[in-house]
Amino acid sequence: MIRTTAFRTAIVAFAIGLSGLAKAQDAPTHPVHETNSVSIPAKDIKFFKAGVKAAAGELEAGPAYGNLQTGHHGTFIHMPAGFISAVHTHTEDYYAVVVKGVGANDPVGAKPKPLAVGSYWFQRGEEDHVTRCLSKTDCLFFIVQPGKFDYVAAK
């Protein structure tokens, strides 16, 4: 019985080891790089009207890399002071950092949680939410998204 148990334990350990080896063999042998290194001074970021409007004005987008209209991207979003979005979703998840002003990004009906410069939020795709610029000065956010940016107003 002890030999059988030891044999079974050895077989399980061997199988687990092979599983780990298969995963290690599937891993890249070198780092994957997206593109060449780049540095863009703030004054050289070209903003354009994003088509998302509220009483306070319209969002503007300034690409850092990629293309928000077609796929993976990192983009600066300029939001006018006092801007409050309609309830909306995005198809893709996105990650955001507050660069200027005080923003908020909350589920529908939640009390806005002020996010000062340096704050971060993650927004799951296909989840209703409201985004705001709470400060008296304009807000600037930097977002990273694995796919294209869309703005789908809630029904």
**CB of 124 closer than 8 Å to CB of 92:** no
pLDDT at 7: 46
pLDDT at 34: 72
Q: Do both 110 and 143 map to the same domain? A: yes
Q: Do both 143 and 78 map to the same domain? A: yes
Q: Phi/psi class of residue 154: alpha, beta or left (left: φ > 0; alpha: ψ in -120 to 50)?
A: beta
Strand ranges of the sheet holding 48-54, from the earlier edge strand across to the other edge: 48-54, 57-66, 73-79, 139-145, 94-100, 120-123
- Domains contained in the chain, number: 2
Q: What's the chain's Rg over C-alpha atoms?
A: 23
Residues 6+ apart with CB under 8 A from 101: 79, 81, 117, 133, 134, 135, 137, 138, 139, 140
Provide the domain limits for residue 91. Answer: 46-153
For the chain of 155 residues, list the mean pLDDT of each consecutive stretch of 10: 50 48 58 84 96 97 94 96 97 97 97 98 97 98 96 89
Q: Do both 80 and 139 map to the same domain? A: yes
pLDDT at 31: 78
pLDDT at 32: 80
pLDDT at 121: 98
Token pair of 81 as six digits: 């002071």
**Is residue 60 in a domain?**
yes
**Is residue 11 in a domain?**
yes
pLDDT at 8: 52
